[in-house]
Structure 1
């Protein structure tokens, strides 16, 4: 089991489906209206589907396809975040995309900012990622703010990239953060 201690009160850890599934499903049900604005899977989430989903995430992590972690704040799960998928690029370069959601009662405590920074550090140091991206709906101010505050730069706008729960397709910002140890300096010092 992976556990990443972010602060004294915030930890990211591997999901335990039978324990975390019911607790996360309850959070999703409580905050369904807010979360469903940006996450198309929210309206269909049940306790059983969340347990099955977490089981699949554990398998994907074992196969190094993705890494999804439960956000635990003050001892209780408050959301999830992680690398939705890893991508192999040319010359063996690897990149990843971060995804996340957070319960309403945990918003505005800086948790997502701290967790994104910790996940980036893990991705760059442990997984040797070349770059990390966050794809956020253009109108999702909170997610865009998280990316910007964590030092990502806006690379481009992706037309109709995200499908919302009502079927509407919306444009998304593609935020990028490059591994600081692998950046190519345009003006090398000799």
Structure 2
């Protein structure tokens, strides 16, 4: 049955799926402590790219954020996904599908990785699994990755995952440091890349 025209709140969307090394799942109440631990470990690497990383959150603030993400997942207004290592159960990072247009079936994915898991291919693995999830479960027509043009690691993930650079929006957003930044837009489109 096609999901076209269906109110997203009526959709049965799987809350977890797996890749080779990861369990990728919707946030659950109680995940705040694990998210907080990963943010504290990674704050210096996150700060240049993530506006929310300008200060270290408390465990309570992280739990509130997780609970809000849980509600948004259930409302289908944002599909945050947490990345857990299959063998250790440790939080590797966070990703998901954001800024969704359900009518056009357009989604944006974003991501961050815990510092101790950087450079090991976990985010590329997660992006590929989340992209396949969006295509198969949500009937995606377009998936985007947007990143600060200076963030080479993020751009490399998009390119390794087979996304096409569509263009660069000049002076499009304020960077975490307050300067104007250029934004690289990558996409995968039904009928072209999948």
Please report the TM-score for the alignment, with normalisation by the length of structure 2.
Answer: 0.85
**Cα distance, 1:159 vs. partner?**
2.1
> Which of residues 43, 53, 78 is equivalent to 2:92?
78
Match of 1:33 in 2: 44
The alignment status of 1:58 with 2:103, answered yes or no, reads no
Q: 130, 135, 138: which one pairs with 2:146?
A: 135
Aligned residues: 177
**CA distances 1:58-81 after superposition (whole Å, capped 9, x unpaired):** 111111111111100131112100
Determine which of 9, 18, 31 is the counterpart of 1:5: 18
Runs of 4+ in structure 1 deviating by more than 4 angstroms, as ranges, are none
2:60 aligned residue: 48
CA contact (8 A) 1:67 1:85 kept: no
The match for 2:122 among 86, 111, 117 is 111
Name 1:157's counterpart in structure 2. 168
Q: Secondary structure at the match of 2:127?
A: helix
- 1:31, distance to aligned residue in structure 2 (A): 1.6
- Say if 1:24 and 1:78, in contact at 8 Å, map to a contact too: no
Q: Is there any run of 5+ residues in structure 2 with no aligned partner, and where?
A: 1-13
Alpha-carbon distance change, 165 to 46 in structure 1, aligned in 2, over 3 angstroms: farther
Secondary structure at the aligned position of 1:31 is classed as helix
How far residue 183 of structure 1 moved from its aligned partner, in angstroms, is 4.2
Say what the alpha-carbon RMSD is for the aligned residues: 1.7
Report the 3-state secondary structure (helix = DSSP H, G, I; strand = E; otherwise coil) of the residue aligned with 1:93. Answer: coil
> Could you say which residue in structure 2 is the equivalent of 1:145?
156
Gaps of 5+ in 1: 185-190
